[in-house]
Structure formats: C-alpha cells, structure tokens
Amino acid sequence: MQENTQKKRGLRKYIPQREEYAARYGNRALTARDFEILALVHRYRHLESRHIRALIEGSDQQITRRLQGLFHNEYVRRYVPWRKMRFDLATGSPVMAYGLDRKGWEALFEYLSKRAEKNGGGPDPSEWRKEYTRRKEPHLEHHLGISHFHCILELALREHPGAELWEWDQSTDIRGEVRLTTGKTLRVNPDAYFSINAGGKLRHCYLEYDRSSEERDRIEEKYVKYWWWLQSPAYREAHQNHQAVNVLFVSTGEQRTAGMIETLRKMEKPNNAPFGGKGIFWFALDSEYTLEDPSSILKPLWRSVSRQERQKMI
C-alpha cells in the first residue's frame, strides 16, 4: 500500500476541518500575529512553514498553532508535494507549504485599509488572484525554490551590517522588452528581481531558478535576451547604477550547473556593448545556502565564466 502511494504525482491539498479543529486552534478575531503571517504569505505567494517560523519572531510552537488556526478557518491553503510526504519516516509531519486564500486576502486588505486610515497612506496595492491557490506540483515547487532563496537572503541581510534588501519584485513589472534593428523583439521574463543597498550603492540582480526542465537552446536564448535587455536605453534609464547588475542562475544539480556554464563559455556574445560581458551571469547550487545558516548565501559561492575564484553577492 505504501509503495503505491509513493508513486502518486501532484499535490496533496488539505481540506480544512472547520467544525472539528477551528475552535481548537482559535476561531475568534484575528490577532496582530495572524495579520503578520497573512502579510508574509501574501508577500511571498507561497512559503513552507519552516520559512514562516524563521521570518517571524516568536515561539515556533505558537506560530505553528496560529498557522493551523488560519488554515482550518480558511484564511490560508495548505499544500504538500507528494515527494515531501515523508513516507520513509515512522514519525514526523510532511513539509507543509502555505498560500493565501480569498478569505485571508480580504481580511488582510481590510486590516491594511483601516490601518492606513488611522496612520495615513494606503493599503498594500499588490494584487492577489485566485489562481495562486490552484497550483500544480511543478509550479509550486518552482515558487518554493524562489521563496527559499528569498527567505534566506532576507534573513542574511537582517544580520549584515551596512547592507539591506532594498527591493524584491516578482510581478510582471520586472519583465523587459527590447526591439532589435532587425525588427525582432526580445522579451525577458525573470523569476524575480531584487536590489541590495550596500553602503549607499545599489546592486541589481535578476534571479532565474532552474529546475532542469528547459533544454539547452532555451538557456542560450535566455543569455541572448538578457544581453540585449541590459544594454537597452529602457533598462539604463530605469535603474540607478545600472552597470552593477548580475543575472543569478540557481540550479538543483551540479551537472546541470556545469552544463549551463559550459554553454555560456562556448557562446559568442551577440553585441559589443561597453559593459555586461559573460561575467554578468553567475551560477550556484540551491544546496549551497541553507536556512540553518542564512549567512551562507553571502559567502563566495557564485561561479562565473570570467573568473576562476568564486564570488560574493556583496
């Protein structure tokens, strides 16, 4: 029976047990801690419970209890990829992932609106769509890989003197487009964009989280698109200190990473721009930074074609 279960694919979506569990975990008015959790899940889109506990101050036990209450009261949804169900363990719970549900977004928006009326300003305008709760396993795993990177980076910079995460954006606003003289239009669609303010200087980074699902031709195409986009007037005008930019490729396998680096090494650069050679592309494994040691993401782990030694983000 266990063997057959392990072969199933896709997501296991948990169903809230409102009548049975909601009262146990709290079905009264939402607390400040609840709204902090909802705002965090909304900001990240999808997070594992371990990330939520790491990012929010307080007792792990209390945060877990609030998460359970939010789930059974239908403010958040809960997912588990089948490969993370821990079938091989006699004890232990699966690795939970959370996403905001419609009820949670409405409660959060109302809370932010009332706070804005009191303190001035406006509520967070970021959109929420019902499609965020309808994820298939590959899509969710991709999002969780991005969130894992984001979480560790945020935690690392909290403790790093003189540096801060200035901006993080996963919206459609970060997409780029450049039209070549040949009439061809190239479009860039990064997984995320972020900037780090280190000593008053901004470093711009685009993140590409690679789960080895794209063919080599698609990777080559990405290199070419980024080359043209980062040289375009539209990019230069929109980014202060625009030459301080890197495209970070995070992969899940050593062989895949080596292959991407070798592909870039053999390519011819499509233009003769004054900056932004092959060295703008950096590569790392997702196993090289950990939640247990967030500072690991700031260590020299980034590889490039142009340098022998590994490089630090800041």
Per DSSP, the three-state class of 138 is helix
For 256, what's the count of Cα atoms within 13 Å in the CB-facing half-sphere?
A: 16
In the prediction, which pLDDT does 241 show? 86
Tens digits of residue pLDDT in 78-111: 887 655 444 444 344 457 889 998 899 999 988 8
Strand 163-169 and strand 185-188: pairing? unpaired
Q: Model-level pTM?
A: 0.86
Separation between Cα atoms, residue 85 and residue 108, nearest integer Å = 30
The average confidence (pLDDT) of the chain is: 84
Task: Evaluate if residue 19 carries a pLDDT over 70.
Answer: no
DSSP string for 261-297: HHHHHHSPPS---SS--GGGEEEEEGGGS-SS-GGGG
Q: Where are the domains of the chain?
A: 2-133, 137-298
Q: Are 220 and 206 in contact (CB under 8 A)?
A: no
Segment 246-289, tens digit of pLDDT:
999 999 999 999 999 999 999 988 887 777 789 999 999 999 99
Cα separation, 132 vs 130, in Å, equals 5
Q: Please say whether the structural domain 2-133 has been given the CATH code 1.10.10.10.
A: yes
**Which CATH number applies to 137-298?**
3.40.1350
**83: three-class secondary structure by DSSP:** helix
Q: Which tens digits make up the pLDDT trace of 120-174?
A: 665 554 666 666 655 566 788 899 999 999 999 999 999 999 899 999 999 999 9
CB distance 184 to 228 below 8 Å: no
